[in-house]
Structure 1
């Protein structure tokens, strides 16, 4: 078997069938779809069982709720394909969109294939905005090219997600890689960092193949960040892995990553919470990272930004619906 598609599924009864259908119609060949039902409390489990009965390529494994990383690890352990793709249960592909990727894998046999992503932003089930990100380089490259252009690959989302990649099983086994089940944020990025050094041949397709459904829950990342008690400490494994890769100016990269996450952590925070987080920042190893404003100004600027963002979403959503009518 050439391909295994692994889908962690938790309470996704409204989207999982469309996701599976889109994969089946994407042009993929010689494949299996493994759905890992991660202890869903809605009808997801029964829908997945029904799909496995209707479609010979689909297998469903039920497990006690353990999180997305545990579900993906279960999928890796039970998969049979020579190449592995990871999929979220609410995302999709266009018809025949994987044809080029499939033929590239058949001909080039890369250790990792990276393609682009399209981000669909929804408001009340209507798409009001679409953005695309593609790899900064095209064609066959070596891992040194990725390391040399590390910032560009990260900023184009080419490293931070596993859903825009096809991994060879051999590279995963060689790296002894699995998803860290204790991580609550950026576990995809860590997995890619683990596998990357074991990839001799990498191939990049500058096509936005994967359609990522941007969550309407804007506070999802914020809540995850709130559950991280010590952000600098949380980032230490990433810093070590990036240093092992030999990324030039890795300290600067980590400072930029820390600042981005810190700003996200502060975005929905109360004034008191901002003060507490900023105190922690000043006592951390990243104390030298400049935060331009005082806690009170940060609070006011965030509230203004949130209001403008909500208004923009409503306006774009109305315009989008009017253009379709």
Structure 2
């Protein structure tokens, strides 16, 4: 049984932390190192982490200044020694045999990544009726098959997108880290983790309990209200274009443009946010220029030129074209 590094970033989750760690230490798969990364939590979480480390020799604790969940995960990756990596969010829990089942699926298929199915729960860990992930079944996918499934899903695409609930070969993170300071950091990194996989084993077993409460990421409103969404769509555009999937790349770019065109959605009350918005708009023009060079499609050059004049001009062009 190879060692598995379970990384848990921790910040202001005092009501849920004991349940999370308890669900990990009681796993039927025992050859683990459990890395608790205290992200400068201002509550009792740091002391709780130290208390758990005294109770279980497999637990290692990192205390650091608050830098966000991405940085906390990266700190865990920096010291991880396991052959495999498994992320758990500190307000979530896992079933007792979750890691065992993930490892068995990896052994059976030699998958680079194993996806454990999830169930969304309320703050008391009571399962919610929606979204319903029970339709997912055991299967093994290639990269392209995963993307086909991902883009065909509704909000249940989180099955593929979230970083937790997955068993990764350690090599995937050899030169890869989460983008700091971003919302939806799981989505930013997804093309790069999937891009290193020849086989992805997907489980129907709902072994990961994703808790929803007022402070959780899933409770922060519509992703379209944050510039991070347009920015990860631009990042994805570059990734798919690099693979030669220009049709999908252009579709993602158009999604980013449509999102940015809804300017009233964003909080642009500060000079920094306004500068960031302008930079994202310019990036859309640059992405269309890059696609034009890669494909030889002259109409993309026209779109790039119009985007350089501004989104209102581009939107008027689209309206006239329709």
Could you state the TM-score of these two structures normalised by the residue count of structure 1?
A: 0.71
Q: Return closer, same or farther for 1:96/1:128 CA change in 2, 3 Å cut-off.
A: closer
- Cα 1:42–1:180 shift into 2, 3 Å: same
Which residue in 1 is equivalent to 2:141? 141
Give secondary structure in 1 for the equivalent of 2:209.
strand
Tell me how far apart the structure 2 counterparts of residues 95 and 86 of structure 1 sit (CA, whole Å).
15
2:272 matched residue in structure 1: none
Deviation string 1:16-62 (CA, Å, 9 cap, x unpaired) is: 11101111223233111101000011110010001011011111100
The structure with more helix, counted as a fraction of residues: 2
Contact preservation (8 Å) 1:111, 1:202: yes
Q: Secondary structure at the match of 1:42?
A: coil
Once residues 107 and 84 of structure 1 are traced to their aligned partners in structure 2, the CA distance between those partners, rounded to angstroms, is 18
SS in 2 for 1:235: helix
* 2:117 paired with 1:116: yes
2:295 alignment partner in structure 1 = none
Which residue of the partner structure matches residue 152 of structure 2? 152
Q: Is the 8 A contact 1:39 1:65 kept in 2?
A: yes
Q: 2:234 corresponds to which residue?
A: 236
Moved more, 18-27 or 64-73: 18-27
Q: CA separation in 2, counterparts of 1:262 and 1:118?
A: 34
| Distance in 1 between residues matched to 2:148 and 2:161, nearest whole Å | 16
Contact 1:115 1:134 in 2 (8 A): no
Name the counterpart of 2:44. 43
Gap regions ≥5 residues in structure 2: 268-276, 282-306
Corresponding position of 2:83: 82
Q: Does the CA-based 8 Å contact 1:111-1:168 persist in structure 2?
A: yes
Residues 140/47 of structure 1: CA separation in 2 closer, same or farther (3 Å cut)? same
Equivalent-residue separation in structure 1 for 2:313 and 2:100 (angstroms) = 47
**Secondary structure, aligned partner of 1:204:** strand
Superposed displacement of residue 140, structure 1: 2.5
1:50-65 correspondence to structure 2 within 5 Å: 50-65=51-66
The answer to whether the 8 A contact 2:142-2:200 is kept is: yes
Residues 158 and 234 (structure 1), Cα distance of their counterparts in 2 relative to 1, 3 Å cut:
closer
Seen in structure 2, the aligned counterparts of structure 1 residues 231 and 140 have a Cα distance that, compared at 3 Å, is: closer
Give 1:283's aligned residue.
311
- Separation in 1 of the partners of 2:318 and 2:105? 44
Match of 2:186 in 1: 188
TM-score by length of 2: 0.72
CA contact (8 A) 1:135 1:205 kept: no
Partner of 1:105: 106
RMSD: 3.7
